[in-house]
Amino acid sequence: MKWVTLISFIFLFSSATSRNLQRVAREAEYKSEIAHRYNDLKEETFKAVTMVTFAQYLQRCSYEGLSKLVKDVVDLAQKCVANEDAPECTKSLPAIFLDEICQVEKLRDSYGAMADCCSKADPERNQCFLSFKVPQPDFVEPYQRPGTDVICKEYQDNRVSLLGHFIYSVARRNPFLYAPTILSLAADYEHALQSCCKESDVGACLDEKAVAIEERAKKVSVKQQYSCGILEKFGERTFKADKLVLLSQKYPRAPLSEILKIVHDVKDIYKECCEGDMVECMDDRAELMTYICSKQDVFSSKIKDCCEKPVVERSQCIIESDFDEKPENLPSVVEKYVQDKEVCKSFEAGQDAFLAELIYEYSRRHPEFSTQLILRVTKGYEALLEKCCKTDNPAECYGNAHEELSKHVKETEDVVKTNCDLLATHGEADFLKALLIRYTKKMPQVSTHTLLEIGKKMTAVGTKCCQLPEDRRLPCSEGYLSIVIQDMCRRQETTPINDNVSHCCSDSYAYRRPCFTAMGVDTKYVPPPFDPEMFSFDELLVNLIKRKPQMTEEQIKTIAEGFTAMVDKCCKQSDIETCFGEEGANLIVQSRATLGIGA
């Protein structure tokens, strides 16, 4: 059985769950999707999410211009609530929003080729519009809050308008941030106003809280874009397998049947959010959180405070809540999946159900592992059973499964320990140098700027994760490294790097990080001609490795010693710039000789 079919059991199981049957029954009451969503969300939230949707598609539009589009959609929703049989009420929500956009006067004048999307049929039309969204656009100013002297009165007198402008500003600057998150940030902003307007120094208070809100927005946005990227690149089954691991770790006391229900709904919700369908994204996520809160005793003891919050704040709170404690005295999975002589019977009778249960059981016992590591272990076990169940003595064949699969765990733990030890011993600067050496050899085609950017991101991962308790280091490290790698792979799609990178990016989600770790020097790389003008102090090391990716540690050491000696000498001179110019040229000559590079 192929890995891509591993989680198909989830489709079969969850499509018939009681929660989904309730949703189908409820939706059958409505002939109009827009009427249904308006009634669910109520007017203020529906208006806010409609503004988010338009601001993310039409990032250059003014608040006043978008307010007119919002009014058109709200008027239609109210009309459809009153009469669902009206012809225009049967359209899907994405079609309603895109039709409204395509009716904007002079759309081409402001957005150029994006106007061509209007000639496409759905769903290609939506995919076309999504491709024109600009992350962190330089043509959009950061949110400018009203002056300290007027903001509290503004909030008191014009709350809806003030918060509306905040939502508009955040949405157009973050076109891939999900609507529930943007509304949650708006709630944080409102709480900040309520708190700070009681303080003597309103501005200082708001400045401090604004930093926290901005950091949270960046963190959540990166994770959401990562999830959308995995869903798009590897498909629904890999995405659901990843979420099955995470939810089993987060809610280890919940039965598998409940976890599978949530996994199915989470996939549907992410699909809506990733496709820009923010009204359905908002409504369905709120409904899912209401369901989880109605069964706190089943899911988690950690979400009580979250469930007491208003709807717009509840979902992000639950998503960010801690893992619940796992049940005590859980038996080892070795008993059922290795020592049992009848494993092959269970595996062959229903492979998907068998392996989904293994993921659940293994994950709830190991919150200290990353989702990717657990998927590697499961994939390795699946391959082992496929081989062993064809032999004359399967039990003997898979009897060493625990030892075999422990190699995946050891490899990951060793990588984390090695890098955390290097960071602790040598500090961030030397850690960054080590990463630059490592990744310039793997990807010498990548620009120096991008290599430095990747190196700094990886160093930040180390700084963040290596200081955590032992049981959180591994999931933190591999989780955030997977995000850095995903960003690298996204660039690879538009600007191919080399065959090794392409293979690691596309072959397996679970094995991406080990693939990059094990990647060697790109032997097919043809270096550029040597140019003395390339010398730059920050970029020297990267450029030299680009000239000769096969350079040895001894050669690197010799060049590094020369660089250190140059810095020591020149920093003592009165004319530092002239010294660096002269000694820099000498260093290039010496480095070229060390590497055996001709003129």
| Amino acid, res. 473 | R
Same-domain pairing of 175 and 274: yes
Report residue 529's pLDDT band, with 50, 70 and 90 as the boundaries.
Answer: low
Same-domain pairing of 382 and 456: no
Report residue 543's pLDDT band, with 50, 70 and 90 as the boundaries.
Answer: confident
Same-domain pairing of 581 and 566: yes
The CATH number that applies at residue 299 is: 1.10.246.10
Same-domain pairing of 301 and 425: no
Kindly list the distances between the CA atom of residue 107 and the CA atoms of 58, 61, 100, 110, 139, in Å, as whole numbers in the listed order. Answer: 9, 10, 11, 6, 17
From the CB of residue 587, how many other CB atoms can be counted at a distance below 10 Å? 19
Q: Establish if 350 belongs to a structural domain.
A: yes
Is 138 annotated to bind a ligand? Reply is no
The structure's pTM equals 0.84
Q: Establish if 56 belongs to a structural domain.
A: yes
**Which residue, 383, 408, 433, sits at the end of a domain?**
408
Is 85 annotated to bind a ligand? Reply is no
**Which residue, 274, 297, 325, sits at the end of a domain?**
325
Same-domain pairing of 18 and 71: no
Q: How many domains does the chain fold into?
A: 6
Q: Establish if 235 belongs to a structural domain.
A: yes
For helices 540-547 and 448-465, give the axis angle rounded to 10 degrees.
120
Report residue 337's pLDDT band, with 50, 70 and 90 as the boundaries.
Answer: very high
Question: Average pLDDT, stretch 369-397?
Answer: 95
Q: Establish if 124 belongs to a structural domain.
A: yes
Same-domain pairing of 174 and 267: yes
Q: Which residues contact 392 (CB under 8 A, 6 or more apart)?
A: none
Same-domain pairing of 273 and 371: no
Q: Establish if 162 belongs to a structural domain.
A: yes
Report residue 448's pLDDT band, with 50, 70 and 90 as the boundaries.
Answer: confident
Is 33 annotated to bind a ligand? Reply is yes
Q: Is the dihedral of CA 543, 546, 548, 552 positive or negative?
A: positive
The greatest distance separating any two alpha carbons of the chain, rounded to the nearest whole angstrom, comes to 84
Report residue 564's pLDDT band, with 50, 70 and 90 as the boundaries.
Answer: confident
Same-domain pairing of 71 and 104: yes
Same-domain pairing of 314 and 172: yes
Same-domain pairing of 320 and 180: yes
* Residue 177 near residue 217, CB atoms below 8 Å: yes
Same-domain pairing of 513 and 420: yes
Q: Establish if 179 belongs to a structural domain.
A: yes
Cα of 370 vs its chain's centroid, Å: 14
Q: Establish if 385 belongs to a structural domain.
A: yes
* Residue 44 near residue 190, CB atoms below 8 Å: no
Same-domain pairing of 513 and 544: no
Looking at residue 551, its pLDDT comes to: 82
Is 236 annotated to bind a ligand? Reply is no
Better-predicted residue by pLDDT, 264 or 543? 264
Share of residues in the chain with pLDDT > 90 (%)? 71
Report residue 569's pLDDT band, with 50, 70 and 90 as the boundaries.
Answer: confident
pLDDT at 580 over 70: no
Q: Which domain holds residue 2?
A: 1-27
**Which residue, 273, 290, 325, sits at the end of a domain?**
325
Is 40 annotated to bind a ligand? Reply is yes
Q: Establish if 474 belongs to a structural domain.
A: yes
